[in-house]
Amino acid sequence: MASDGETRPLLAAHESDNEPIPSPHDDVTAADDNAQGSSFSKNLGTAEAFAIVISIVIGSGIFTSPGSIDTHVPSPGAALVVWLIGGVLAWTGASTMAELGTAIPGEGYLGGVQPYLRYIFGDVFGFLAAWTWIVAVMPATLAILSIVFVESIYSAAGITDQADRIEHKLLSILILVVISVANSISTKTSTRLNGFFVVTKFTTIAAVVIAGLVVVIIQATHPNRDDVGGRDWFTKPWFGNRPTVNPDGSTTDWGHLSSWELLGHYSTALYGALWAYSGWDKAIYISAELSAPAKQLPLAINSAIPTIVFCFITANTAYYILLPWDIVSTTDSVAVTAITRLLGQGFGIVAAVLICLVVAGSLLGNSFVAGRMAVAAANQDWLPRIFSQLGQVGIRKRVEQESESAENSPDVPTSDAPVNAIILSTILSALYILLGNFRALLTFNGLGEYSFFFLTVLGAIVLRIREPGLRRPYRPFILVPAIFAVVSGFVVIRGAIFAPVLAVVLIVLWIIGGLLYWGRKEYARRRTS
């Protein structure tokens, strides 16, 4: 495990950026995979792929995003439409990724959008994608999850307005550090802990939906009862505009907003939904382990994502049944708030524990990935080599005596965890916690991710024109990537205009990344000249 982590980039293809990127024009069959360097056994079927996609996508977002979405829409019905649009966008994006994943196969390409951007647009785009994920997307994700973990605890105690206090932020950083330490022990420890967290997310969603059904039955059979759940779902129009209460206590009167302002609010709401659906792009990671990826991967995506959309819409419908509508927009832990209001603080604490386990699982998994992304970038010489070291803090010295036993050498790490890389992601995430807040970080995360998702799907369209002869075992109708490109492009542009400070921060990070890239290229050129 340690040697693999040191020699094979996890985010990029095997070849260095100074070598030509191989063309996948030739037909690729299952028998060719070993030639492509794949070390996975092809022992997964459609059912396993379906379950993996479900597990990847359903995370903490379903319990945390509803409040941020409700704040930016005029009605609960509009919020549910945003959830549907987010699901459709995830579906079209995942289908296009499946096209790229089956057209450009091989284990080396199982690294998100970076290798596809590199193949289509050039090395600098691949670098900027990797850079953005390492310094922006993944740290923001870890910061969001850490904030939500603490917010769930506060919500169980009936406190929903303390997220900006320094005590809340310091607790969030403490949780982040604990998870980072757990990931620094070893890869085996991380995967075992992650398996423990998987069941809790499904249990919690089921509990919320069942609670909503119980309230519907009680209030439908006893219309005069107002002591169970909320009553707004029963007495108010689901698509009627209502003043929205914001977390700071102000209200938004939707009748006084222009169409442009409304589009800004809707784009921000969509970022909340996209956060909940995040992970759809990782469906292609499992293609190397499918026995017939060209058939099984699209089938898994086209069955799993509609299932996820159904779960998310039913859960959000339950929130609007369980709570008065003016409460939904003010909390970043809506599930805990709903259960606490319905069943009391004792059950709210139970719900908080379950959701904290879900969030801890997401934190663990994302911290695991973030560290390995930095290792991959360091192996490509895109980051200092210190971040490719495994098992200890700092730079490991070379073992001078080759005859010295590896087990007895103090220079051989006892862990295969990328400790230096994990420390890097932890420091960056802590800065985001201190400088940002949950809802701003959602928008920032969405801007970073979807800028490159847009480019990748646009690249898939460009590739159809530029290389029509490229073998594509799975080829969705052109309208699928076109829908994603149009909607995601608009969301990124309008979101940047609506949140200009966050957009400027992201652009500055891209400029810094570009300067590092060209500086590194110039340094390499001078060394070889």
Expressed as residue numbers, the domain containing 345 is 2-395+411-528
**b/e map of 309-330 (b: 16 or more CB within 10 Å)?**
bebbbebbbbbbbbbebebbbb
- What is the reported pLDDT for 67? 87
**Is 108 in contact with 451 (CB distance < 8 Å)?**
no
pTM more than 0.85:
no
Contacts of 367 (CB under 8 A, 6+ apart): 142, 179, 180, 183, 422, 425, 426
More confident residue, 454 or 187: 454
Q: CA 516 to CA 518: how far, in whole Å?
A: 6
- What is the reported pLDDT for 20? 41
Q: CA 22 to CA 479: how far, in whole Å?
A: 28
Nearest to 370 by CA among 140, 177, 109, 52: 140
- What is the reported pLDDT for 428? 92
Query: What does the pLDDT look like over 315-332, one tens digit per residue?
Result: 999 999 988 888 888 877
- The answer to whether position 322 is within a domain reads yes
Q: At 313, is the pLDDT very low, low, confident or very high (cuts 50, 70, 90)?
A: very high
- What is the reported pLDDT for 286? 63
- The answer to whether position 402 is within a domain reads no
More confident residue, 306 or 298: 306
Nearest to 315 by CA among 227, 515, 323: 323
Nearest to 180 by CA among 393, 394, 354: 393
- The answer to whether position 34 is within a domain reads yes
Place of tokens 């919320």: 208
Nearest to 421 by CA among 113, 10, 17, 16: 10
- Give percent of the chain with pLDDT exceeding 90: 19
Residue 203 belongs to domain with CATH number: 1.20.1740.10
Place of tokens 């505009």: 241
- Tell me what the mean pLDDT of segment 387-393 comes to: 69
Nearest to 186 by CA among 409, 414, 387: 414
Q: Residue 107 pLDDT > 50, yes or no?
A: no
Amino acid at residue number 349: I
Element containing residue 27 per DSSP (H, E) = none
**Is 56 in contact with 282 (CB distance < 8 Å)?**
yes
The sign one gets for the Cα dihedral 188, 193, 199, 202 is negative
Query: What does the pLDDT look like over 474-513, one tens digit per residue?
Result: 888 999 999 999 988 988 998 888 889 999 999 999 999 9
More confident residue, 484 or 3: 484
- Tell me what the mean pLDDT of segment 229-256 comes to: 84
Q: Of 88-97, 148-157, 195-204, 359-368, where does mean pLDDT reach its minimum?
A: 195-204
The tokens for 378 are 């360091």
Largest CA distance in the chain: 85
Q: CA 111 to CA 116: how far, in whole Å?
A: 9
CA 304 to each of CA 265, 454, 472, 478: distance values in angstroms, whole numbers, following the listed order: 29, 22, 22, 21
397 phi-psi bin (left φ>0, alpha ψ -120 to 50, beta other): beta
Q: Of 174-178, 226-230, 303-307, 366-370, where does mean pLDDT reach its minimum?
A: 226-230
Domains contained in the chain, number? 1
Query: What does the pLDDT look like over 348-379, one tens digit per residue?
Result: 788 788 777 777 777 777 777 777 778 777 77
**Is 352 in contact with 122 (CB distance < 8 Å)?**
no
Q: Residue 84 pLDDT > 70, yes or no?
A: yes
How high is the mean pLDDT of the chain?
A: 77
- The answer to whether position 378 is within a domain reads yes
Q: At 38, is the pLDDT very low, low, confident or very high (cuts 50, 70, 90)?
A: very low
- The answer to whether position 187 is within a domain reads yes
- The answer to whether position 401 is within a domain reads no
Q: Residue 252 pLDDT > 60, yes or no?
A: yes
**Is 76 in contact with 326 (CB distance < 8 Å)?**
no
Q: At 432, is the pLDDT very low, low, confident or very high (cuts 50, 70, 90)?
A: very high
- What is the reported pLDDT for 509? 94
The tokens for 90 are 């995830």
- The answer to whether position 404 is within a domain reads no
Q: CA 121 to CA 248: how far, in whole Å?
A: 44
- What is the reported pLDDT for 154? 78
- The answer to whether position 430 is within a domain reads yes
Place of tokens 């579906």: 91
SS3 511: helix
